[in-house]
Structure 1
Amino acid sequence: MRMNLTELEIRVLGCLMEKELTTPEYYPLTLNALAAACNQKSNRDPVLSLSELDLQRGLEALGARGLARLTTTGGRVNKYVHSMGDKLGLAAPVRAVLAELMLRGPQTAAELRGRSERMAEVGDLAAVEEILLELQQHGPPLVVRLPRQPGRKESRYAQVFAGMPEFPEEEPEQPGAAPVARPRVGNQRLEQLEQEVGALRDEIGELRREVEEMLAAFS
């Protein structure tokens, strides 16, 4: 299975997974229902505005990968389903956590626990962490744990259907701008911070290499 999905394909697939769990009475989804799900302004990051032509293109690409298909249940209106449960063997709680990552981007285990409950019973925080570990150990891996950012207490997790997420660079100060006040730190503390930054960069580089190798193996 190719892992380098586009943002469009990830949004379509995530919405199909979400609606199967939250509104099973309206699933499979018509193209209109899928458009409403993909373009809704809540529980989405980023908010998108996709046309039916965009959605059809995304569905065709997902169909070629065996991840979504047109149903054969009859009726005059075409309806669509995902194949994540059959294709990758993912249970409902696991699909719920993965769908949240696909629809809202990187999140902590605690955030995922609170947000995934609307789709499935994912259990307590320890249970969610077990789900995340399962997704990290899946063959191929579907989730990675991001390096903990300075000033944050918890690590975040991200899906890797589109590859390794980009890490924001620190914006340089503009020439002529007033200097930003920074607290003074001792030499020992400064050295410790420099070591932590260096370790973080090494970890990011290693994660990037692992994902690139994974993508090459499954492309």
Structure 2
Amino acid sequence: MNDSPLPPSDDDSDTEITTDEPAAVRKDSLVQLTFAEARVLGCLLEKEATTPDYYPLTLNQLFAACNQSSNREPVTDLGTDEVEEAMEGLRYKHLGILVRQAGARVAKNKHTIEQIFPYLTEGERSLICVLLLRGQQTVGELRQRTERMHHFSSIESTEATLQRLCDYDPHPLIRLIPAGGGRRVPTYVHLFCGEPDTSAFSAAIPPASSRSESVASPSWREEMEQQLNELREEIATLRSEVQSLKDELGA
């Protein structure tokens, strides 16, 4: 499904107009998302932080973000209808809205995580984002993979931020999976899709032989691979933006 055009606006300003406005919600239990909804929310958080000039996202941009091959585990092949349905689910759960910007012909998609979690810090949001996009990870992996969104000065500061999310009031947002049962180091998972099945993690043994090795600074090869992935992501975003402009112009 392509982005739906909107009637032109008489307002020439850059004012953002929401087409549906969620109220602030505080729930006694954590909102539960489908896998697709979690992927969409993670993409919106990521693009807001890393490519703010292209945020909010059109449906085509969101579709490309969900299915990009870099910084995603697992890599998916969601259809545009699945992405649109997932976004509708986020809107229903007060985690997203559809907006239009003055002069734009298509609606755009925006997360509203601050409506339910108004006190999340930048670091906390970046960790949630990467956990939504890449699943179970060690503290070292999380520190490295959030670098473009937030700089953690040390492993200890990363762990402290993760602990705040584990202790989040009124309900935890993530869970620490202790070492053991085939796991050589502790890992973290988000709880937006429910409690994790820890038995499923037993076969996933990190290659590091110790915790100190698992949280060490990435090698030059890993840094180069990360930079290459970032360039691929930027190219995919630019291609998506060009396609969106063509759609708006009716090309």
Q: Which interval holds the TM-score relative to the shorter structure?
A: 0.7 to 0.9
1:174 match: none
Between the aligned partners of 1:50 and 1:85, the Cα distance in structure 2 is 26
Matched, 1:155 2:186: yes
1:204 match: none
1:203 match: none
1:79 match: 108
Give the TM-score normalised by structure 2: 0.64
Between the aligned partners of 2:79 and 2:143, the Cα distance in structure 1 is 32
Note closer, same or farther for the CA distance 1:151–1:64 as it changes in structure 2 (3 Å cut). Answer: closer
Map 1:32-43 → 2, pairs under 5 A = 32-43=60-71
Is contact 1:148-1:154 (8 Å) kept? yes
Tell me how far 1:96 sits from its aligned partner.
0.7
Between the aligned residues of both structures, percent identity stands at: 40
Provide the aligned length of Structure 1 versus Structure 2: 171
Unaligned residue ranges in structure 1 (runs of 5+): 172-219
Matched, 1:117 2:161: no
Tell me how far 1:86 sits from its aligned partner.
3.6
State the secondary structure of the residue aligned to 2:188.
strand
Map 1:57-136 → 2, pairs under 5 A = 57-74=85-102, 75-89=104-118, 90-136=120-166
State the secondary structure of the residue aligned to 2:200.
coil
Is contact 2:43-2:129 (8 Å) kept? yes
Is contact 1:85-1:91 (8 Å) kept? no
State the secondary structure of the residue aligned to 1:93.
helix
2:213 match: none
Between the aligned partners of 2:183 and 2:93, the Cα distance in structure 1 is 37
Map 1:1-219 → 2, pairs under 5 A = 1=27, 3-74=31-102, 75-89=104-118, 90-138=120-168, 139-150=170-181, 152-166=183-197, 167-168=199-200
Is contact 2:67-2:77 (8 Å) kept? yes
Is contact 2:136-2:189 (8 Å) kept? yes
State the secondary structure of the residue aligned to 1:118.
coil
Tell me how far 1:157 sits from its aligned partner.
0.4
Between the aligned partners of 1:44 and 1:24, the Cα distance in structure 2 is 19
State the secondary structure of the residue aligned to 2:97.
strand
Alignment RMSD, CA only?
Answer: 1.8
Note closer, same or farther for the CA distance 1:9–1:170 as it changes in structure 2 (3 Å cut). Answer: closer
Is contact 1:143-1:157 (8 Å) kept? yes
Q: Which has the higher helix share?
A: 1
Note closer, same or farther for the CA distance 1:53–1:5 as it changes in structure 2 (3 Å cut). Answer: same
Between the aligned partners of 2:99 and 2:201, the Cα distance in structure 1 is 44
Is contact 2:63-2:79 (8 Å) kept? yes
Note closer, same or farther for the CA distance 1:87–1:122 as it changes in structure 2 (3 Å cut). Answer: farther
Note closer, same or farther for the CA distance 1:127–1:169 as it changes in structure 2 (3 Å cut). Answer: closer
